[in-house]
Structure 1
Amino acid sequence: MAEVVLFSIIDRILGKLGNLALQMIGRMLGVNDELDKLRNKVSIIKAIFLDVEELQTKSHEVRDWLHKLKDIVYDTEDLLDDFLM
């Protein structure tokens, strides 16, 4: 269940990174390249997440990594929310 929530949050992050207002702010601040890199990394994380989801039941290391990934995803969404306010 938590994985479904995380996947949903990753989709929201990607949506926020594609937000026109964020792109305009990024241009004004000169951070468009960094936003593009972040968008690309979040997209990669989403793809990796699909593979890792199956492995987490078999490996404590993967489960630990997934837990850390969840923390990063939540922090990223909070950061984008703060930036867009």
Structure 2
Amino acid sequence: MVDILLSALVSSMVGNLNTSALQELGIALGLRDELDNLESTLSTIQAVLQDAEEKQWKSKPISNWLRNLKEGAYDADDVLDEFVTEALIQEAEKEKGLKSQTGIHFYGEI
């Protein structure tokens, strides 16, 4: 049977959408509406998953559906993680650029 952690994975994805770096990158790229829509969709999916996870023990079709959905959710989570990582890299580069412009250096920095 599919483990009950699928809705937790979706919850983690919603959390990733709310990181400040991703929000800033989304605004900079004009993706704010798309990120809001994705968050809304994921919240709806999470509610359906919680219901399906309770019913999977009584229904083989639901169990199979959850197994397939889980594979897709992991793929989507990987893509979102890459997007968040890129947002953090851009945020760090922006901060580094601001420090070099102002001449501010911290201990251990060159």
Q: Which TM class, normalised by the smaller chain length?
A: 0.7 to 0.9
Q: TM-score, normalised by structure 2?
A: 0.68
Q: TM-score, normalised by structure 1?
A: 0.86
For 1:61 and 1:9, locate their aligned partners in 2 and report how far apart those are by CA, in whole Å.
21
SS in 2 for 1:24: helix
1:1-85 counterparts in 2 under 5 A? 2-3=3-4, 5-85=5-85
Aligned length: 84
SS in 2 for 1:58: coil
Q: Any unmatched runs of 5+ in structure 2?
A: 86-110
Deviations 1:6-56 (A, max 9, x none): 232222111101111111111111111111111111111111111101211
Q: Any unmatched runs of 5+ in structure 1?
A: none
Quote the offset at 1:80 in angstroms.
1.1
For 1:37 and 1:68, locate their aligned partners in 2 and report how far apart those are by CA, in whole Å.
23
Identity %: 39
For 2:6 and 2:16, locate their aligned partners in 1 and report how far apart those are by CA, in whole Å.
15
Root-mean-square deviation (Å)? 1.5
- Structure with higher Rg: it is 2
